[in-house]
Chain A
Amino acid sequence: MSLSASAFESLEMKEVGRRFGGRDALVDLNLTIRAGEFIALLGPSGCGKSTALNCLAGLIPLTYGEILIDGQRIDLLPSEKRDFGMVFQNYALFPHLTVEKNIGFGLQMRNLPKDEIFRRVAEGLALVKLEEHAKKLPGQLSGGQQQRVAIARAVVLEPRLVLMDEPLSNLDAKLRLEMRAEIRRLHQSLGLTTVYVTHDQEEALSLADRLVVLREGRVQQIGTPEELHNSPVNWHVADFMGYRNLIDVQVESISGKLARVTGGGLSLNATLVQPATTGDAVRLAIRPSDLLVGSSATSTEANNKFDALVNVVEYHGREFSIGVTTTMGHNLFVQAEVAPAPGEKVTLSVDPARALLYHSELEAMSSEQRELAEVRG
């Protein structure tokens, strides 16, 4: 495979921000991307992740901040001179050009010799396994094939950076898994530095080397998939990382990292992630898979339990997803291997180490915290 990535040492985004009509879409994004890294920008819609990507691509100008590659500013460069490849959510294939012309478009713009274009288009086609579709128009291809063309079109340029804007969100579930593996394979074999935007935490966790979680234009946390998955810094990130059960409680007593909390009819031991004092209102976050039903509890969880009523039972193949209501009317989600009957009363227990406590308010990350996150990243 002679396709490869033209290299840079590091790309730095410094205090990058963008305003739209007086509203901040992106605030103070600080991020250093090293060559070959796969970065995922993650967040709900409207969190500024696409804005960040478009700023990086040069499709919208920055309101403040700068972007540097190996110390040289590139944020003033027009998009066509940045030498980045971009994959769009709706593929954005040229409908009037055949697959091979689409893939060769960028090469043609660079005025490369004909045989070189031919060779690299053939490689690109082989890379995404679309050789037999070379002469077709994009409209004759399926969604997954179109997306593969879009990816090939971006990577044949051997760009310094590949930007992907929710490339899988228009595909059905099965194709999405296949394409995810395909993207991972391409990234590993070509060593392309990639920035990937998604709202799907599973996609981000499985693909990225590092994740950037955004909310309302602000960075919440930067870290490896493990870090984000196991120790989210605030309840928003926790919520996004699969801690679906959020309960507002009050701190009763604290002993070291552990705290006794009550509220919503529950009284549990849980781990303090952010510092708190007795009497503080905090938010308890628990993953559905960490809530154990009835007899499956071991001694650690044994005295950390509460009762709930089963509402809904969904079959998910290997396990069941169960919706329960606590005595005080909180709706919670539980994962279990056996299905209780709807209406049944169950006892749920949780390991205190896996019940996390956060401040109820989301303060903007302080500068030390951000630096810390940067260092850890």
Chain B
Amino acid sequence: MTATTVTSSRAKSSASLSHRLAERGISARLLLLVPALVFAIGLFVYPFLYGLGLTFQPLPATQAQWGGGLFANYLAFFRDAFTFDSVWITMRLALPVALFNVLISIPIAFKLRNKFRGKRTLQALLVLPITLGTVLTAQGLLIFAGRQGWLNRFLIDSGIIDQPLQLVNNYLGVMFSLIISGFPFAYLLISSYLSGIDPSLEAAARTLGANWKQRFLRVTLPLLAPGIATTFILTFVLAFSVFPSARLVGDASGETRVLALMAYRSFAEQLDYAMASTIAIMMGMVELIVVAIVLLGRSLLYKGSTGGKG
């Protein structure tokens, strides 16, 4: 009895304390995390918590109008139709845009998987909008698709239409802008997920008698699905937080009165920091809900490696 305890304690103490700590991941190397932690706390955690605190300090006017004490801002957010509607307005923009970007990226990424002449040029063209920035895209859209833009002038001069098409300063304008800036991200992500799928899997499915539809639905799609979910989340979040283009090529007081614009209005026009913070927090909440739903769906799918062996 005693003998065994002695041997076991001896076996334990044969390694030094620092060595045993290091085996559990505790060593001086953890100090390398310090700069990152400083930045994360200083630039994200603290401002976020500060903003969250602000939401519970409503202006007296808000409290008087909506009641609810500390929660007056949240009551205002849900009860004020003008504010709450903008959740749907934003959703109506972000969901179709994210879906479109993902769905259009899949066939394009598929086609560009093969080698052909001019592939690099085409890829560069597809990814180029990343470098443009929202303002330049908006400017371009206004010039190209505005009432006096090239497109309308061409269509009218060639007699196809009599009245200029209303393509900017409304829902469509923002949607175009979001597609232009969101597509490169979706395409890059999807094509990198696609390149992770071993092409011999499709060859195997072919020799087993699967036609292209069956190959896509039963082999490629299930393996690509987690990538599609991730891509959808990223493009959705990008589109949901739209701000400049909603103002520049949208209808800022009507159809494209998105949440970011509402927060900006509270903050810059009404000087109501508390309400602005509340809107920002709620924006995050809505995004989190959508992300959670997508991730839940993703967790039901296959998540392992997609390459087979070798």
Contact = CB atoms under 8 A, between A and B. Distances in A.
B310 A106 contact: no
B309 A143 contact: yes
B158 to A, nearest CB: 44
Interface stretch (A91-99, A248-256, A322-330, A332-340): A91-99
A224 interface: no
Contacts of A80: 206-211
A94 B219 contact: yes
A248 B115 CA distance: 44
Interface in B293-310: 302, 304-310
Contacts of B308: 90-93, 95, 138
Contact of A89 (B223, B305, B310): B310
Interface string B32-49: 000000000000000000
Interface in A90-112: 90-96, 105-106, 109-110
A79 B209 CA distance: 7
B80 interface: no
A85 B306 contact: no
A92 B200 contact: yes
B301 to A, nearest CB: 8
Contacts of A105: 205, 208, 210, 218
B208 A146 contact: no
Contacts, number: 89
Interface in B235-250: none
B104 interface: no
B222 interface: yes
A146 B309 contact: yes
Nearest to A81: B209
Interface string B268-304: 0000000000000000000000000000000000101
> Size range of the interface on B?
20 to 34
B206 A94 contact: no
A86 interface: yes
B208 A139 contact: no
Interface residues of A, number: 35
A109 B309 contact: no
Contact of B305 (A86, A92, A95, A109): A95
Nearest to B225: A96
Nearest to B197: A95
A376 to B, nearest CB: 32
A239 interface: no
Contacts of B309: 90-91, 143, 146, 170
Interface in A128-160: 137-139, 143, 146, 153-154, 157
Contact of B207 (A85, A90, A95, A138): A85
A139 B305 contact: yes
A172 to B, nearest CB: 13
Contacts of A84: 207
A143 B308 CA distance: 11
A96 B222 contact: yes
B148 interface: no
Contacts of B210: 80, 105-106, 109
Closest 8 CB pairs of A and B: A96-B302, A106-B208, A90-B310, A92-B204, A86-B207, A92-B200, A109-B209, A79-B206
